[in-house]
A and B are shown apart, each in its own frame.
Chain A
Amino acid sequence: MKDKFLINVVPGNTFLHQLTGTTKVRLFVVLLVFITMSFDLRLILPIFVLTWIGIISAKPNWKQVKVIMSVVIFFNLLNIVLFYVANPTVGEYWCNNLTIIGQLNNYFVFPIETFWYLFVRLIKMLTNFTVSLWFITTITPSEFAAGLYSLGVPYKICTVVSLGFRYIPDIARDYENIKISMQLRGVEMDAKRTGIRERLKQMVLILVPLIITSFDRVQTIANGMDLRGYGRLKKRSYYCEHEPTRADRIIQAITLVLFLFSIGYIISVNVWPPQTHMWCPIIWR
């Protein structure tokens, strides 16, 4: 698990790393809106490809990426299967049409529209993931906070984000250490060998020391911040934030265009008339 954290504290030296926090956070937020607003493969697929190019250009640690990637693909496939089981005719809602090409029994039918919907959904989820992977691999906690601050978020909230982001690896490491020491004492953690009640009990065994060590830190960190004058003034500037370069201006312009497009799309497609169908090229009538 400890290999799975991609959070970096020192900025790297590729093109995406060199952008300011403001640019990256704005682009990230707009991309999230863009991905969330539709189930249209024509809009999602380009972002999927572009974020992959971004990830490759950022030269991440591929060993880590592979581990996290396989977990994500597994869970998303599992989710897709569960979605199908929950409602096999969900495609009717999205494509206003149902072409059944076979059936197992009265409940488990195989409509093309449902498979199309589930496929688009899978791509959408994976795009969501690549968007956040690109973002995580190229941003540092301070840049994240600086970017949010530039969007007008109160700086105490920005501190929550950067500090929380910064402490996730620490807490995960503590979790792992506590788990290992519990296993050393003979607590069975294997999901296959223990029932759900046992596992819940064991989780509490890990949790109590984890909570105590995590919250014990609070006073130390807070004292350190107070000593450096944190929270004395109403405004704040960020050391990591440099003057925007030409690349920053270009990316910010692209972000603005995407943002305006998203607003237009949301107003014209999602709000009125209410979105009830998706782009579906395979309709047999």
Chain B
Amino acid sequence: MKKSLGSLLLGKWDTPTVVAVAIGAALFGVLMNYGSITVFTNTRLTTAMLVPVIVGGLFGALPAAVACFFGNVFADLLGGWGYWFDWSTGNAVLGFLVGMLPVYGANIKEGKFDIKHAAIFAVVAVLANMLAFGVVTPIMTVLLYGGELTITFMQSFAATLSNITVLVVAGIPLLFALARRYAKGTNLSRE
């Protein structure tokens, strides 16, 4: 079943996708608050970064981005450190790029995820973090909050490093595990 690039990026917004994005956002919010270690002011080594990996792997890039954006808003809502929509936007971009798994052929639902996909995933994770927190977030910071770039850059640097660590060290084994889990159910063919 061949899908166009556009539909792979946008995802299919049927009911399971909506629910998965919602659960993903809630999970992101909870993990951002409780499943993380503070490394720098407002920056955490957080397992929440695994949410876009899963949502992206299963449902596509845009659902991952939406889950990240609202996940960050939920986290802000619960955490009480103020609303930082520049970071929400950065996270959405990151979620979109990290969630592009189906675009380069990895298909978690059919159990397709091998070393090649893992390598591409790692490279994309590094580039996505640099783009999201090195470029997009500072631009949004200037647009929305005006200035304070020293601290934003220091935060981005810490966030980039910790996110890459989480994505590569925990994300890749998780993807392998999920792919194996789904592969069990796919020796049936559609008639």
CB neighbours of A71 from chain B (8 A): 80
Task: Please encode chain B, from 9 to 26, with 1 for each CB lying within 8 Å of some chain A CB and 0 for all others.
Answer: 000011110111111111
Q: Are B40 and A82 in contact (CB under 8 A)?
A: yes
CA distance A204 to B29 in the complex (A): 17
CA distance A230 to B17 in the complex (A): 12
Q: Check A160 for interface membership: any CB of B closer than 8 A.
A: yes
| Residue of B whose beta carbon sits closest to that of A216 | B23
| Residue of B whose beta carbon sits closest to that of A269 | B146
Q: Are B35 and A128 in contact (CB under 8 A)?
A: no
Instruction: Mark out the residues of chain B between 68 and 100 whose CB falls within 8 Å of any chain A CB in the assembled complex.
Output: 70-71, 74, 76-83, 85
Q: Are B41 and A82 in contact (CB under 8 A)?
A: yes
Known contacts A226-B15, A274-B146; is-contact A171 B22 (Cβ 8 Å): no
Instruction: Mark out the residues of chain A between 157 and 186 whose CB falls within 8 Å of any chain B CB in the assembled complex.
Output: 157, 159-165, 167-168, 170-172, 175
Q: Check B170 for interface membership: any CB of A closer than 8 A.
A: yes
Task: Please encode chain B, from 156 to 191, with 1 for each CB lying within 8 Å of some chain A CB and 0 for all others.
Answer: 000000000000011000100100000000000000
Q: Are B22 and A159 in contact (CB under 8 A)?
A: yes
Q: Are A160 and B70 in contact (CB under 8 A)?
A: yes
Q: Check B4 for interface membership: any CB of A closer than 8 A.
A: no
Which of A10-18, A72-80, A245-253, A254-262 lines the interface with chain B?
Answer: A72-80
| Residue of B whose beta carbon sits closest to that of A73 | B80
Taking the closest CB of chain B, its distance from the CB of A120, in whole angstroms, is 13
Q: Which of A160, A165, A203, A218 has the most CB of B within 10 A?
A: A160
Which of B42-50, B113-121, B128-136 lines the interface with chain A?
Answer: B42-50
CA distance A251 to B191 in the complex (A): 59
Q: Check A26 for interface membership: any CB of B closer than 8 A.
A: no
CA distance A87 to B30 in the complex (A): 31
What count of chain A residues pass the 8 Å CB interface test? 67
CA distance A124 to B80 in the complex (A): 11
Task: Please encode chain B, from 34 to 60, with 1 for each CB lying within 8 Å of some chain A CB and 0 for all others.
Answer: 110100111001010010001000100
Q: Are A165 and B18 in contact (CB under 8 A)?
A: no
Q: Check A240 for interface membership: any CB of B closer than 8 A.
A: no
Which of A49-57, A96-104, A205-213 lines the interface with chain B?
Answer: A205-213
**B contact residues vs A (CB 8 Å cutoff):** 13-16, 18-27, 29-31, 34-35, 37, 40-42, 45, 47, 50, 54, 58, 66-67, 70-71, 74, 76-83, 85, 144-148, 150-151, 154, 169-170, 174, 177
**A contact residues vs B (CB 8 Å cutoff):** 1, 4-5, 32, 36, 68, 71-72, 75-76, 78-79, 82-83, 86-87, 90, 93, 124-125, 128-129, 132-133, 135-136, 156-157, 159-165, 167-168, 170-172, 175, 191, 196, 199-200, 203-204, 206-208, 210-211, 214-215, 217-219, 221-222, 225-226, 230-231, 270, 274-276
Could you jot down 28 A-B contacts, CB within 8 Å? A36-B85, A76-B80, A79-B81, A86-B151, A90-B151, A136-B77, A159-B22, A160-B70, A161-B70, A163-B22, A164-B21, A164-B25, A164-B70, A164-B71, A167-B23, A168-B30, A171-B27, A175-B31, A175-B34, A175-B35, A196-B37, A196-B45, A206-B35, A210-B27, A211-B174, A214-B26, A226-B15, A276-B146
Having A167-B23, A168-B30, one finds 19 other A-B pairs with CB under 8 Å, namely A5-B78, A75-B79, A79-B41, A83-B41, A86-B150, A164-B26, A164-B74, A171-B23, A175-B31, A196-B45, A199-B37, A200-B45, A200-B170, A203-B47, A211-B50, A214-B26, A218-B16, A218-B20, A222-B14
